Amino acid sequence: METSKKRSECPLSCSLDVFGDKWSLLIIRDLIFYKKGTYNDFLKSDEGIATNILASRLKALEENGIIEKLAHPESKSKILYRLSKKGIDLLPIIVEIYIWSDKYFSMPLEIKQIIKEAKKDKDKFVKQITKELKSQ
Digit-by-digit pLDDT tens for the chain (136 residues) are 445 567 788 988 888 888 878 999 999 999 999 999 999 999 999 999 999 999 999 999 999 999 999 988 888 888 999 999 999 999 999 999 999 999 999 999 999 999 999 999 999 999 999 999 998 8
Whole-number pLDDT of residue 73: 86
Domains of the chain: which residue ranges? 11-135
DSSP per residue, 61-90: HHHTTSEEEEE-SS-TT-EEEEE-HHHHTT
Q: Can you give the pTM of this predicted structure?
A: 0.88
Pick the CATH number of 11-135 from 3.30.2130.10, 3.30.70.20, 1.10.10.10, 1.10.472.10: 1.10.10.10
With 0-12 / 13-18 / 19 or more C-beta atoms within 10 angstroms meaning exposed / middle / buried, residue 31 is buried
